[in-house]
Amino acid sequence: MTGWARRLAAVAPPPVFAVAGVDARHAVQDLHLLPGLRLVDAPRQASVLLLAGRLTDQLLDAAVAAHDAMPTPRGVVSWQPDGGGPPRGPFTGAELVGDADPVEVIVALHRSLHLGVRASTPTIQPDVDPAPWRGEGPYGQGGSGMTGGVPYGRPMATREDDRDGLSLDALPVPVGPLFTAFPPGMSARVTFKGDLVHRFELGPSPYDDVRREPDVFLRALTEPVAVAALEVARARALLRWTAWALRVQGLDAQAQRVLALARAATPGDEARVRRVRRWVTHPLVTGRQLRAIGRVDTDALAGLAVGPVGRAAGLIDDLRAEDPAYRELGFTPITGQAGDVAARWQQRLSEAEQALDLATRAGSLRTGGVGAIESPRGRLTADSTPTTRLWSLLPELVTGVEWGDAVATLASLDLDLDELPAPIASRDVA
């Protein structure tokens, strides 16, 4: 019976938990379109750990924890889409893939593990308590009374005053940086009271002090670029966000359709984007359940220049409106009014459609080279980014709301943690 079960598992699509390193986020996202793989949201569901791109120290620590949470048999594949070298630390013995398609290597490793040809990778972390707790407190559980403490690293609830004057159990939980429903790389210490977020404390970016590969928007800060190229890149970025956000909402099949469009969108695809916008924002898909949550008013956003987030709340704030090339195209910013999660979904898809229309009509027009550009997330300069300007608003936005609404709100902001230190930071990952 055991042999039969192993053979059956070996021929199934391998469940893969992926860790996206520096500049590997899009490559990992695109794996959802490849047949033969099943990307999962938790390491306990996976048999193969995929390390994509260069890992910073914080991501490496998170990858170790994810590896040890995986059931046996398990294996590790290191995929370097940019042609980088082998991974550091405890993963030096991983199966290596260059910039080629990693599916064949992952499938072969998965089969050999379940057929007993390859041995499972051993546990990396020592089997010791993460924090001393045994015997502490009147009941030996590591805290005071019947609450508190961190037995075996798992925090117990403590009593804290609530805003309605009651004293309720508050449970602190670390989340991220590999939580797939968070913006990639985000980590936080979330204190829950039931299913409500009582306190939200942001962790550091795992991409701090990392040199980013310059995209067309970063190049446009210092040199003129074609308007058509900028707008196609804008549309693709907005559609990629939509595909990821649909996965956060549990709509995987729809997410794959949008991701396929995001990879291939070109001038002339406005009608395809319009159809996507209509069914994605339909009340039966996302429109109704995302309405009236995560609302940000114009006073909080005034002066932040955060692109679709601000325009969805009614702010007319778009550098393109001041650009002679865009004025020649008759550009007018699209704005909403509600300022909630549903409005931000509508805003981005409307702007993706508008971007492809602009690209279709742009011809040889060029823009950029003046130190500031309107990126898909808002105003981008050499020393200021939209994510940096939104960062301080996050705790207040998600405190006091249900966890599901908090996750949807964070997703709707389209945060890019690569932007936190600076558009281009000072040094590479070792």
User: Could you state, in order of their start, the residue ranges of all structural domains in the chain?
Assistant: 2-114, 216-419
Give residue-wise pLDDT tens across range 354-394.
999 999 999 999 999 999 999 999 999 988 999 999 998 99
Joined together, the tokens standing for residue 10 give 């070996």
> How is 278-329 classified by DSSP, letter by letter?
HHHSSIIIIITTTTTSS---HHHHTTT--THHHHTTT----GGGG-HHHHHT
List 189's β-bridge partners, or say none.
Answer: 174, 201
Give residue-wise pLDDT tens across range 67-101.
999 999 999 999 988 766 677 778 888 888 877 78
Confidence of residue 109 (pLDDT cuts 50, 70, 90): very high
- On the question of pLDDT at 422 being above 50, the answer is no
- Among the ranges 160-174, 222-236, 388-402, which has the highest mean pLDDT value? 222-236
Res 286: pLDDT: 86
Distance CA 20, CA 387 (A): 19
- On the question of pLDDT at 427 being above 80, the answer is no
> For 89, which DSSP code?
G
Instruction: Please report which helix (H) or strand (E) contains residue 379, including its range.
Output: strand 378-381
- On the question of pLDDT at 163 being above 90, the answer is no
Confidence of residue 429 (pLDDT cuts 50, 70, 90): very low
- On the question of pLDDT at 413 being above 50, the answer is yes
The candidate with the shortest Cα–Cα distance to 424, out of 23, 28, 58, is 23
Whole-prediction pTM value?
0.90
Give, in order, the Cα–Cα distances in Å from 318 to each of 274, 304, 371, 380.
22, 11, 15, 11
- The CA angle 222-224-229, to the nearest 5 degrees, is 115
Residue length of the chain? 430
CA torsion sign for 162, 165, 167, 168 is negative
Confidence of residue 214 (pLDDT cuts 50, 70, 90): confident
Confidence of residue 423 (pLDDT cuts 50, 70, 90): very low
> How is 158-226 classified by DSSP, letter by letter?
EEEE-TTS-EEEEEEEEE-SS-TTSSTT--EEEEEETTEEEEEEE---TTTT-PPPP-HHHHTTTSEEE
Res 430: pLDDT: 32
The candidate with the shortest Cα–Cα distance to 154, out of 180, 173, 170, 176, is 173
Cα-only R_g, the chain: 23
The candidate with the shortest Cα–Cα distance to 168, out of 195, 194, 137, 141, is 194
Res 210: pLDDT: 59
Whole-number average pLDDT of the chain: 88
List 375's β-bridge partners, or say none.
Answer: 378
Joined together, the tokens standing for residue 34 give 């490849």
Pair 148, 164: CB distance under 8 Å: no
The candidate with the shortest Cα–Cα distance to 272, out of 309, 235, 300, 299, is 235
Q: Considering the chain, what percentage of its residues have pLDDT values greater than 90?
A: 63
Please compute the mean of the pLDDT values over residues 302-326 and round it to a whole number: 95
Res 161: pLDDT: 67
Domain 2-114 class in CATH: alpha beta
On the question of a common fold for 2-114 and 216-419, the answer reads: no
CATH for 216-419 is 1.10.645.10
Please compute the mean of the pLDDT values over residues 98-124 and round it to a whole number: 89
Q: Could you identify the residue written with the tokens 């900028």? A: 230
Confidence of residue 208 (pLDDT cuts 50, 70, 90): low
Instruction: Please report which helix (H) or strand (E) contains residue 97, including its range.
Output: strand 95-97
Give residue-wise pLDDT tens across range 40-56.
999 999 999 999 988 88
SS3 373: strand
- Among the ranges 131-145, 161-175, 315-329, which has the highest mean pLDDT value? 315-329
> For 2, which DSSP code?
H
Confidence of residue 217 (pLDDT cuts 50, 70, 90): very high
Pair 13, 36: CB distance under 8 Å: yes
